[in-house]
A and B are shown apart, each in its own frame.
Chain A
Amino acid sequence: DQQVKQNSPSLSVQEGRISILNCDYTNSMFDYFLWYKKYPAEGPTFLISISSIKDKNEDGRFTVFLNKSAKHLSLHIVPSQPGDSAVYFCAASSDRGSTLGRLYFGRGTQLTVWP
């Protein structure tokens, strides 16, 4: 049972425009959300995260929005660059305390940014 869903397996965006990657979750106990970026044959790299007490977190070109009532989050990349082309994984956690604990991942969205 997939508790974190990324319904778009791929997204193609022109350089300079905004990329919007979406993620939905079903478990209302999730209280921390992360986005990871992954290149082929490499491990995922942490991008940005958001706690459930916030609805927006921004870091440079990356902004994550959280809509708890809809159990939906999105990652905005603006402006998009060709180097952003990768698979983006949404992940969620429900463990608090000193560590984040187990992460539940979506299937990923392949982002392609073309010149």
Chain B
Amino acid sequence: GAVVSQHPSRVICKSGTSVKIECRSLDFQATTMFWYRQFPKQSLMLMATSNEGSKATYEQGVEKDKFLINHASLTLSTLTVTSAHPEDSSFYICSAEGGMQPQHFGDGTRLSIL
């Protein structure tokens, strides 16, 4: 069964709306969670790394005020896309790791901004 749960799986909303995506580790404590973005036929691009209880580390070119990440507990991280615009439409995937387990991924969120 799934070890990382990501919700929602699909979001369609109007331009200017803020969207929150949740990522939960189901049966292990995720000391670190990662947020990726994937464009069609492209690799997974890391957006940010978040450690429980501390501020996220963003990759170069990723706007931290645009993509707000909160990792308040060892089982939950959230990504909020603020004031989303059509160019933010993409497939967002989270992953979580803890101990010596390889990263497990959520099923992703398809975000479509109209």
Q: Which residues of A contact B (CB under 8 A)?
A: 2, 4, 9, 34, 36, 41-46, 49, 89, 98-103, 105-108
Contacts and interface: CB of A to CB of B under 8 A. Distances in A.
Interface residues of B, number: 28
A105 B42 CA distance: 10
B107 interface: yes
A4 B43 CA distance: 10
Secondary structure type dominating chain A contacts: loop
Contacts of A41: 9, 91, 107-108, 110
Interface in B79-106: 91, 93-95, 97-100, 102-106
B107 A99 contact: no
B107 A42 contact: yes
B67 interface: no
A106 B43 contact: yes
A43 B103 contact: no
A98 B100 contact: yes
10 contacts: A9-B41, A36-B105, A43-B95, A45-B105, A98-B99, A100-B97, A102-B34, A105-B43, A105-B44, A108-B43
Given A99-B97, A99-B98, A108-B43, A43 B105 contact: yes
A44 B43 contact: no
A42 B42 contact: no
B78 interface: no
